[in-house]
Amino acid sequence: MSRATSDTGYEDQWWKTPIQLHDAEDKGERYELLEGVHDSPITSYDEVGALEPFDNPRVKTDPRFRLILHFNWKAQTLPVIIGGFPSKSALSSSSKSVTDVMHQPQLQQCSPRAQIVKRNYKTPTVFTHGTDDGMIPWQMTQGTYETLSESGEQTGVELPESEGWRATRRGL
């Protein structure tokens, strides 16, 4: 296989690099991070929608959306995706901060590309990733696709410059 085994996705330096999203940069404002965390599931939420543009002033003031911004600003997205986020009740019984209790993932165990390289992944997969994605570089998807293709598994990739949902519907 021509790919280096260290090129496994989640080990990429990108996951450890703070992201300043266009129109939603970290300007050092103070906020209570746990304001957006609830101990029970939220079944209805009509504040800021997932497709709100970042320049909407509500984005940076909405407690739940601010969590997403914070994880990007502080390069904590991967630990949250893999290990979850502590609840307020769990933190209230501890003198530790949120970042003190964040799960430090075992990246080789959960990295899709690492599992492909180890030949543990055998599922036919089609990737769709818009090239205008401001949060996760499309090149990461391209690299995982190439690794899967080189391993001989059935795969495909769509990297639309726009109209990402159109490409997604094609894959259904």
pLDDT in tens, 46-81: 655 555 667 777 777 788 788 888 888 888 877 777
Residue that wins the pLDDT comparison between 162 and 59: 59
SS3 149: helix
**In terms of pLDDT, which residue wins out, 102 or 24?**
24
- Of 139, 140, 122, 117, the C-alpha closest to 6 is 117
Query: With contact defined as beta carbons under 8 Å apart, do 113 and 87 qualify?
Result: no
pLDDT of amino acid 155: 94
Cβ-contact 48, 56 below 8 angstroms: yes
- Give, in order, the Cα–Cα distances in Å from 74 to each of 17, 68, 87, 115: 8, 10, 19, 27
Q: What's the token pair of residue 36? A: 């957006």
CB atoms within 10 A of CB 14: 15
pLDDT number for residue 145: 93
Report d(CA 121, CA 113) in Å as an integer.
9
CB 46 within 8 A of CB 18: no
C-alpha span between 36 and 40 (Å, rounded): 12
H-helix or E-strand containing 155?
A: strand 155-158
Residue 7: predicted pLDDT = 40
Tell me which DSSP letter residue 127 carries: E
Structure tokens at 142: 């391209």
Residue 30: count of CB within 10 angstroms of its CB: 4
Please give the pLDDT value at position 161.
72
Q: State yes or no: pLDDT of 27 exceeds 90.
A: no
| Beta-carbon contacts of residue 60 (< 8 Å; ≥ 6 apart) | 24, 29, 66, 69
pLDDT tens-digit series, residues 97-149: 666 666 566 667 778 888 898 899 888 999 988 887 777 788 888 989 999 99
Per-residue confidence (pLDDT) for residue 104, from 0 to 100: 60
The β-bridge partners of 157 are 127
Residue 3: predicted pLDDT? 34
